[in-house]
Each structure stands twice: as structure tokens, then as C-alpha cells.
Amino acid sequence: MHNVLKAKLRRGEVTFGVTVGMGCPEVSEAMGNTGLDWVCFDMQHTSLDMETVQAMIQAMSYSESIPMIRVTSNDLGLINRALDI
């Protein structure tokens, strides 16, 4: 699978994205369809949980935006769950 975001960063290009803290799949779907390079789901500073983030990423699965998750701590279990999503 080709990651467009990684390719742009390797070429030194500027990328555009947004951090989402609202737990609503419709918001992530809309953000994914605006042409952003990435959408970051902030679990550290919001009340988002893994199940909500998973639903939000699924809602934007047809967009070309790359989803990223900011987990609550540097915990290997949390990081692995985020990667699994």
C-alpha cells in the first residue's frame, strides 16, 4: 500500500491536516473529504476512546486523507491498539 503522506514528507513537501477531538464519525468523514493530507485524532487532550476513534477512522476510509492517532501516553499496549485500528 502506497502512503501518499509519507511520500510527500520524504520529498520535503508541505502537508495540511487537522486535529479532531469531537467524537463524531460524520466530522471525520467530512474532514477526510476536504482534501486534507492527514487527520489526527487526539485521545490525549480529549475524551475520545479507542472505539470512537475506530468508528471515526472507518467513516473516513474512502478518503485519501491519512488517519493518525495521538494516544494518551507512551504505553505500548495503547500504541499497539492504535496501530491495529
In this prediction, residue 3 has a pLDDT band, given cuts at 50, 70 and 90, of: confident
pLDDT in tens, 12-67: 999 999 999 999 999 999 998 999 999 999 999 999 999 999 999 999 999 989 99
Q: What's the per-residue H, E or C state across 22-85? A: CCCHHHHHHHHCCCCCEEEEECCCCCCCHHHHHHHHHHCCCCCCEEEEECCCCCHHHHHHHHHC
pTM of the model: 0.88
